[in-house]
Amino acid sequence: MAGNVSITLQNTDEGRAIIEAISSDNEAATVNVYPSMTKIDCPNRLVVRRESIEINMGRAFDLQELQLSLVSLAGNVDEDDDEFVLAWNR
């Protein structure tokens, strides 16, 4: 199944730092900002990198903290300590 994967995050200070990191790391991503949340769509695969978030936040970040800002997602998740990847399994 080919198509977009997506992640939707709350528009909090931490959420905005994560959104900026995701946008920087996924050039094909489309960012749609709504009053209280932001939805990011990306064709086939989207990567959330711990290091990019830490640069934007200016502090250490555990990818498990992503759950605190997460509203929804679409795609299969594969994660480790450094990356959270959304893709459709084929």
For 2-58, what is each residue's pLDDT tens digit?
A: 689 999 999 999 999 999 999 999 999 999 999 999 999 999 999 999 999 999 999
- Please give the pLDDT value at position 16: 96
- Token pair in block for residue 44: 């086939």
2 CB neighbour count, 10 Å cutoff: 7
3 state DSSP class of 19? helix
3 state DSSP class of 60? coil
- Please give the pLDDT value at position 1: 45
- Please give the pLDDT value at position 89: 84
49 CB neighbour count, 10 Å cutoff: 18
Mean pLDDT across the stretch 60-78? 96
Residue type at position 79? E
